Structure 1
Amino acid sequence: MELELRHLRTIRTIADAGSLTRAATVLGLAQPALSAQLRRIERALGGVLFERGRYGVRATALGELVLERTRVVLPAVSELQREAARFARARRDTERLRIGGIHGPLLGALVAGIADTLPDATVTTCASWSERELAQQLAEGRLDFALAGTCGSAAPPGAEHLVWREIAVDPVRVMLAEGHPLAGRPEIGLDALADQEWACVPGDGCFADCFTAACARAGFTPRRMYETDTASCVHLVRVGRAVGLCRASFPPTPGIAVRPLTGTPLVWRHLLGWHPGAQRPDAAAAVLDRARSAHAALVRAVAPPSITPGQGVD
C-alpha cells in the first residue's frame, strides 16, 4: 500500500482525538474500519504508530516521527491547494475583476470608476457584513480585491497573509432626524447623546468596541442598540427612534441631519486588500488609485460648501 495524504490526515486525527473511538467519530467511520485502516498504514510504515492504553492512545517513537512530518506536509499541501485555486481563478487575461466590500457607497463608486477606465472589463461584486469573510475570500482566491475598514490603527483581517493599503481616513459623524433638538448645532459632543438610542449595521470588526470605549470616555454606556441593515438604520433615524453614525461618503438624505462629533472621538480608515500572490503590483496600484479617486469624489459630492473634502465630511 502506498502512503497517501488521507493516511497522514488519519494519523493526525487519531493523535488529536486521543482515542480511536473519538477519531472514528470525527472521520465518520466505524471504529473497526478505522482500526483496520490504521493497521494497513502501520504495515506500510514498518512499525506501530500508537500504543493503546486504558485512557486512549499514545504515539510511539515512530508515531512521533510521522506526526512531526505531518505538521509540515499537511499545511504545505493545503497552502499549495489555495495557491492553485487563486492562480486558476485569477483570469487576469480576461480583465475580469471580482471585488468585495462592506456595505456602503464606496463599493459602487469604485465599480463605476473601473467601468470608466476599463470599459471592456467584467466586474462582479460581493457585499458582506463580515470583514473576516471578505479576507477569507481573498485568501482563497474567490475575490481579487476587497474594501474593508478599521477604527484608527487597528489591524485589518488576515493582515499576516494579505496586503492592505489605506484609501482614506474619515471622521465618524452622527446622524439625527432633522427635527431633533440637537440637529441645529454645528457639532455635537458625544456626551450630549448619552440618553439616545442607537442604530447601526452589523459587523465583526472592531467598530462596536471602539464606539463603546468612546462612550465610556464620554461618561456613559450606550442605551438600546438597533442592529440592522442600512436602509432600516436610516429609517429609524429619520423617524426619531434612534441616532446613528456614518462616514464621509454618506449621501445627503431627506429628513436627516449629519453633524460632526466634537473632538472626533471616532475615525474610520478605509482599506483596499488583495492577496500578493494573485495580483500584479501594477494592477493592484491601479485599483488602489481608482479607489482613492472614488472616495475623494464621494466626499466632494456630499461636502457642504463651507467644508473642504480634506476635512473628511460625512
Structure 2
Amino acid sequence: MQLELRHLHAVCQIAEAGSLGGAARRLGVSQPALSAQLRRIERVTGGELFVRGRHGVEPTPLGEYVLAKARRVLSEMDALGAETRAMAADTPLRLGCILLVLLDGLLAQTDLALAGREIALYQEDSVTALVRMLGAGRYDLVVYGEVNDHEVPLPAGTVARTLVGKEPFCIRMSEHHPLAAREVLDLADLAGEQWMTLVEDDDGGPEALVAACAKAGFVPSLRYRITDRKMHHDLIAAGRAISLTQPTAPPAAGTVMRPLFGAPITGRIRLAWNRSAVSARQAELLYRAAAGAYLANVDNNPFHRLWWDAHPEAHPAPE
C-alpha cells in the first residue's frame, strides 16, 4: 500500500478531532473502518502514530512528524486547486447564501472585488443544506447566519471566518400596532402575539426565540413561515403577525422596526469556503465585499447605528 491524500487527510482529522470516534463522524465512516485504515497507514509509516490518552488519542513523536508533513502536503494541494481554478476565467465562482439582508448588495460588491470573474449566486433556506453542498463541492463559498450560541458544524476541507460577531435581532410590526409608538420593546409585552417564524429552522433561531420567550414568561405562537419577502411584510403590515428581523433590514410599507430591551436574541454572520476552490487572496477579497455589503445597511435604522457604534467588537475584522 502507498500513502494517498485521503490517508493524510484521515490522519489530520484524527488529530484535530482528538478521538477516532470524532474523526469517523467527520469523515462519514464507521469507527472500526477508520481504526482499520489507521493500522494500514501505521504499517506504511513504520510505527504507531497515536496513543490513547486520558482525553482521547494523542500523536506519538512519529505521529507529530507525519502530521507536519501531511498538513504541508494537503495545504499545497488546496492551494494548487484554488489557484488553478482561479486561473480558469470561464469557471464561475459558486456562492451560496441564506436570505440575509446583506444579500441584496453582496453581488454588486463581489462584482467590484472580483472584476472579470463570473459569479453564480444561489439562495438556500437551510443552513444544513448550504454547508452540506459546500462540503460536496457544489458551492465554493457560502454566507450564513447563526443565532445566539448555535454553531453550524462545517465539513472537512473548509475554512470559516466571522464577518459580523454580533447583531441584535429586533421586531418588525405593523405601524398601527399598539406598541409601535415605543422606541424600545420588552419581549414580555409581546406575549399573545402571532409570530412569523424564521425562514431558516436550523440556525438556532427557533430555539433562541422559544428560550427567550420562556425567560419572558410565555410561549410564542409560531403561526406563519413565509419565504416571499413581500407577502411576509404585507401580513405584518396588516397586523396579522410580528417577526424577528435583522437590525439592518430596510423599511417596508406599513411596518415599523423596534429594538428589544436587553438584546435577548442575537445573531452573527459568517463566511466559509472550500480551500481547494478559493485561494487565500480570493477569500480576503470576498470577505471585504461581504463586509461592504453589510456596512451599507447599518444606517437603515437609527437604533442599530447607535448600537453598532457602541459595539466595535462586533465589526468586521480590519484589513
TM-score by length of 2: 0.67
> Paired residues, what number?
239
Which of 105, 110, 115 is the matching residue for 1:109? 105
Partner residue in 1 for 2:182? 185
Partner residue in 1 for 2:248? 249
8 A contact 1:190–1:262 mirrored in 2 = yes
Which of 196, 200, 204 is the matching residue for 1:199? 196
Shift in alpha-carbon separation, 1:69–1:161, aligned structure 2, 3 A: closer
8 A contact 1:87–1:141 mirrored in 2 = no
Structure 1 distance, partners of 2:210, 2:216, is 10
Structure 2 gap segments, 5+ residues each: 1-31, 42-73, 312-319
Partner residue in 1 for 2:258? 259
Structure 2 distance, partners of 1:263, 1:237, is 23
Partner residue in 2 for 1:13? none
Shift in alpha-carbon separation, 1:194–1:311, aligned structure 2, 3 A: farther
SS in 1 for 2:105: helix
Partner residue in 1 for 2:211? 213
Partner residue in 1 for 2:85? 91
| Cα shift at 1:220 | 0.4
Shift in alpha-carbon separation, 1:239–1:89, aligned structure 2, 3 A: farther
Shift in alpha-carbon separation, 1:306–1:264, aligned structure 2, 3 A: closer
Shift in alpha-carbon separation, 1:161–1:265, aligned structure 2, 3 A: farther
Higher alpha-carbon Rg: 1
Cα RMSD, aligned residues only: 3.1
Give the percent of matched residue pairs that are identical in Structure 1 and Structure 2.
28
| Cα shift at 1:237 | 0.7
Structure 1 gap segments, 5+ residues each: 1-63, 74-79
Which aligned pairs between 1:219-238 and structure 2 lie closer than 5 A? 219-229=217-227, 230-238=229-237
| Cα shift at 1:70 | 11
Worse overlay, 270-279 or 257-266:
270-279
| Cα shift at 1:163 | 1.8
| Cα shift at 1:92 | 1.4
Partner residue in 1 for 2:297? 298
Letter in 2 for 1:91: R
Structure 2 distance, partners of 1:283, 1:153, is 29
| Cα shift at 1:121 | 1.9
Partner residue in 1 for 2:275? 276
Which of 154, 171, 175 is the matching residue for 1:174? 171
Letter in 2 for 1:219: G
Structure 1 distance, partners of 2:303, 2:241, is 24
| Cα shift at 1:117 | 3.2
Partner residue in 2 for 1:164? 160
8 A contact 1:196–1:223 mirrored in 2 = yes
Shift in alpha-carbon separation, 1:123–1:183, aligned structure 2, 3 A: same
Partner residue in 2 for 1:289? 288
